[in-house]
Amino acid sequence: KNEVEQSPQNLTAQEGEFITINCSYSVGISALHWLQQHPGGGIVSLFMLSSGKKKHGRLIATINIQEKHSSLHITASHPRDSAVYICAVRGGGGTSYGKLTFGQGTILTVHP
Amino acid sequence: DAGVIQSPRHEVTEMGQEVTLRCKPISGHNSLFWYRQTMMRGLELLIYFNNNVPIDDSGMPEDRFSAKMPNASFSTLKIQPSEPRDSAVYFCASSKGPGGELFFGEGSRLTVL
């Protein structure tokens, strides 16, 4: 079992739909990152969170430390949101503090 | 700010050749990370530096890989000799401290024939 599991692996939506991507992890962490990668492109950090909820524009990220679970929501989805969304967790301490363990990614396609 | 700068963006080489990838972190960031991305294994941390010192190199595949950070504004990842299984996209990222928000470079796509 991977330390970081994302679901779904693939997601197709129509423009305007509300989208949720889930991430579950099995280890103690100090923070969780959500990353976005467009096809053939670089990686952009969307959120870094260790508790509660963060919002940036149409994107919302939540984390439940007790349940070891995080969700990324996209409201009013748009074709430009089509990308791979990657969940990554940072280790709890020592030299693992800087080490990210990545989920396998969720491929999101939003059709007009 | 120019962001994290990586070079080359693309490299095609033959098996056995030496490959050097370069990274310039964002000014003021004191943590630098090298990641590798493949279809089979996704993103993996190879090594990270804090204040130019390697902290965790447990992800470096084998002795053919080496990384250096001679100063705060430059790092290299070297593969010698290269093998076809090293073909991947190599990303460099930097942050303010090992727990800070990560900023990624555009990546270096390596193909070893």
Residue pLDDT, tens place only, A28-39 = 888 999 999 998
pLDDT given for residue B97 in this prediction: 87
Q: Check if A44 contacts B (Cβ < 8 Å).
A: yes
Average pLDDT over residues A72-82: 97
pLDDT given for residue A99 in this prediction: 83
Which of A37, A99, A104 would best serve as a mutation to test chain B binding (most B beta carbons within 10 A)? A99
Average pLDDT over residues B11-23: 97
pLDDT surpasses 60 at A1: no
Where residue A12 falls among pLDDT bands split at 50, 70, 90?
very high
pLDDT given for residue B2 in this prediction: 81
CB pair distance less than 8 Å for A41 and B106 = yes
Question: Long-range CB contacts (< 8 A, 24+ apart) of B8-14?
Answer: B8/B108, B9/B106, B9/B107, B9/B108, B9/B109, B10/B108, B10/B109, B10/B111, B11/B108, B11/B109, B11/B110, B11/B111, B12/B111, B12/B113, B13/B82, B13/B110, B13/B111, B13/B112, B13/B113, B14/B112, B14/B113
pLDDT tens readout for residues B63-78:
899 999 999 999 999 9
Phi-psi region of A57 (alpha: psi -120 to 50; beta: other; left: phi over 0): left
Average pLDDT over residues B24-33: 96
CB pair distance less than 8 Å for B42 and A102 = yes
Average pLDDT, chain A: 92
pLDDT given for residue A28 in this prediction: 82
Average pLDDT over residues A55-73: 96
Average pLDDT, chain B: 94
pLDDT tens readout for residues B81-106:
999 999 999 999 999 988 889 999 99
Q: Check if A90 contacts B (Cβ < 8 Å).
A: yes
DSSP-based three-state secondary structure for B7: strand
pLDDT given for residue A2 in this prediction: 65
Residues contacting B39, CB < 8 A, separation 6+: none
Q: Check if A49 contacts B (Cβ < 8 Å).
A: no
Where residue A48 falls among pLDDT bands split at 50, 70, 90?
very high
